[in-house]
Amino acid sequence: MATAGLPKLIVAADSEALAQTAAERVTTRISANPGRIAICLTGGSSPRKLYQLLGSDSWRGKIPWDRVHWFIGDERFVPESDPLNNMAAARATFLDGNAPAGHIHPIPTIADNPDRSAEAYARELQAFYGAESLDPAKPLFDVVLMGAGPDGHTASLFPGFPAIEETERWVVGVPKANVAPFVPRVSLTLPALASCREMLFEIAGHDKQPILTRLLNGETLPALRARSNGETVWLVDQAALPEGIRGPR
Ligand code: 6PG
């Protein structure tokens, strides 16, 4: 399908095949970097199968755990013990027991408010990166995983909210969410998320068909505005594709 101005579109048969392709892309990026590797995870339900795969017997051996650092693109402002916490879900699914504890970098949610959390996480990212401003020649992350919400948000960058226009800060507090769960959020900004070799969206299931249709039509929603300075890939399954462009099933 020709999609001028859109990211590279890869269609998988179903959500299982999609997770498999995502795992291949993540491990390929990991293999391409002989040094320290940084992966920015995402929340929500979309990456669950990928996380299960990465922690499974057949995949975990492909990851040099002692060289990989795991960050997260956005967090719900709830304690780590809360089932809504994105990094806690990733930890439980595949990080704990595989990744060295010091290589897991959650967004702290014990600060007084999301803005303080955002400042703390920006400092952590900048200390890891070794600079306070991003150099286009030196990506912060090898891979940034993303999802797309029903309103076209990605990370916790909601349509029409000021956070989406941020050009300086790496991380911002988001006082309220546009969709459930309606808790404040902390989110990396478009420039911080863009600083990667690959930004990989996973968009699967029939529920995603309306928003994927809008995005493919070029609506300038956050999920369309989020682009890597390197490669941006939308990994979608057949069920999420608009009827008109669905391939044979
Ligand atoms: C979050 C996410 C968010 C998510 C999309 C898609 O904290 O909710 O990081 O941006 O990726 O909302 O969510 P689903 O994968 O659950 O559809």
Section 48-63 average pLDDT? 97
Residue 1 in this model has a pLDDT that exceeds 50: no
Number of independent structural domains in the chain: 1
Please indicate, yes or no, if residue 248 is contained in any of the structural domains.
no
Confidence of residue 246 (pLDDT cuts 50, 70, 90): low
Residue 43 in contact with ligand 1 by CB distance below 6 A: yes
Please indicate, yes or no, if residue 1 is contained in any of the structural domains.
no
Residues 7 and 164: their CA atoms lie apart, in Å, by 19
Long-range contacts of 133-136, Cβ-Cβ distance < 8 Å, separation of 24 or more? 134/170, 134/191, 134/192, 134/195, 136/195, 136/229
For ligand 1, pick from 49, 87, 107, 153 the residue to mutate: most ligand atoms within 8 Å of CB: 153
Closest alpha carbon to 94 in 57, 126, 127: 57
Closest alpha carbon to 187 in 170, 201, 209: 170
Tokens coding 157: 């960058």
> What CATH number is attached to the domain comprising 102?
3.40.50.1360
Residue 161 in this model has a pLDDT that exceeds 70: yes
Residue 74 in contact with ligand 1 by CB distance below 6 A: yes
Please indicate, yes or no, if residue 246 is contained in any of the structural domains.
no
Please indicate, yes or no, if residue 199 is contained in any of the structural domains.
yes
Give tens-digit pLDDT for 91-131. 999 999 999 999 999 999 998 999 999 999 999 999 999 99
Instruction: List CB contacts of 4: < 8 A, sequence separation 6 or more.
Output: none
Please indicate, yes or no, if residue 247 is contained in any of the structural domains.
no
Distance 34 CA to ligand 1 centre (A): 31
Please indicate, yes or no, if residue 82 is contained in any of the structural domains.
yes
Higher pLDDT, 3 or 133: 133
pLDDT of residue 193: 98
For ligand 1, pick from 154, 225, 234, 237 the residue to mutate: most ligand atoms within 8 Å of CB: 154
| Residues of the domain holding 80 | 8-240
What average pLDDT does the structure give for the chain?
95
Confidence of residue 5 (pLDDT cuts 50, 70, 90): low
Residue 191 in contact with ligand 1 by CB distance below 6 A: no
Please indicate, yes or no, if residue 245 is contained in any of the structural domains.
no
Please indicate, yes or no, if residue 206 is contained in any of the structural domains.
yes
Give tens-digit pLDDT for 98-107. 999 999 999 9
Residue 249 in this model has a pLDDT that exceeds 50: no
Ligand 1 atom at shortest distance from the alpha carbon of 185: 7
Distance 232 CA to ligand 1 centre (A): 18
DSSP track, 53-120: HHTSHHHHTTS-GGGEEEEESEEESS-TTSTT-HHHHHIIIIITTTS-GGGB-PPP--SSSHHHHHHH
